[in-house]
Structure 1
């Protein structure tokens, strides 16, 4: 049954071949020397993927989406909420890590084990692989989900 998932993902990769990718990033703490020089943590590049809804599809792996941000130098600002301050810090960490300003970066992602698809958004329930497209959301057939999401990615509706 996981062969069905692998076949669907291989087909998805071939359909996505010309579509733009987005970056995977990981938070890297500075080494001793960098810390002494006042350099803080940064987000470093860990690969590239196609974002297909809640799935991040790479060449050899599939990931569950985590947090999405754009690399931006936030400058000096006051923040009302601590969450806004944290997001600004993450965006600045991406710029320090070498991402281009405005580049989309995924952090907090998790590699999915396609041999145990019940852990995460992918589920095997009988013969058909299913996906939970939102936390607490309903399950839908993976084939339909991939077809719909890839169609929207390759040919977005006007104004999108």
Structure 2
């Protein structure tokens, strides 16, 4: 079953060529710094490269990743949040700022490497799967699968030519 792998590689190779001049977004990883004199320091987000953000996928020069959280780095400030999720996102944004990301820079954290070989064998890897032999992507947890080729074309067009005001 090597043909789907060729299709996947060709799809992502074509995408990378088309995206060559398109803007990329930062990839980061949350790290817990070593303790200093027994005192814990605040976590920070370290830069791990960059990728083109295509909906539920992140495409790098040599890999395909599933998105995780996206935050904009910002200086830590005391805020009153009613929701724990808001507080956690604010802490993640502050960790990105502490890690050296510029104020307001978009940072992807919690992303996962996808296994294109597994997809070629008919297994799912994150949002990617073969559906009736066609490489497909699930663009939301509740949504169904759509053909990967069309999805990539649409997302690349949106990245290269965003709607006015976006």
- Deviation digits for residues 67-100 of structure 1, max 9, x if unmatched? 1100011322222222211111111100111111
Compared with structure 1, are the counterparts of its residues 12 and 34 closer, same or farther at alpha carbon in structure 2 (3 Å cutoff)?
farther
Q: How does 1:11-160 map to 2 (within 5 A)?
A: 11-33=14-36, 36=39, 39-117=41-119, 118-160=124-166
SS at match of 1:116: helix
Unaligned ranges ≥5, structure 1: none
Number of equivalenced pairs: 159
* 1:119 positional shift: 2.1
Measured after TM superposition, the shift of residue 157 of structure 1 is 1.9
Once the two structures are superposed, residues 96-133 of structure 1 have per-residue CA deviations (whole angstroms, 9 ceiling, x without a partner) of: 11111100001111000001121211111233211111
CA distance 1:41–1:74, shift in 2 (3 Å): closer
Paired with 1:40 and 1:106, the residues of 2 have a C-alpha distance of 19
In the other structure, the counterpart of 1:9 is 12
- Residue 24 of structure 1: CA displacement? 0.8
- Partners of 2:30 and 2:38 in 1: how far apart? 15
Q: TM-score, normalised by structure 2?
A: 0.90
Give 1:35 deviation, angstroms.
6.0
Greater than 4 Å deviation, 4+ residue runs: none
TM value normalised by structure 1: 0.94
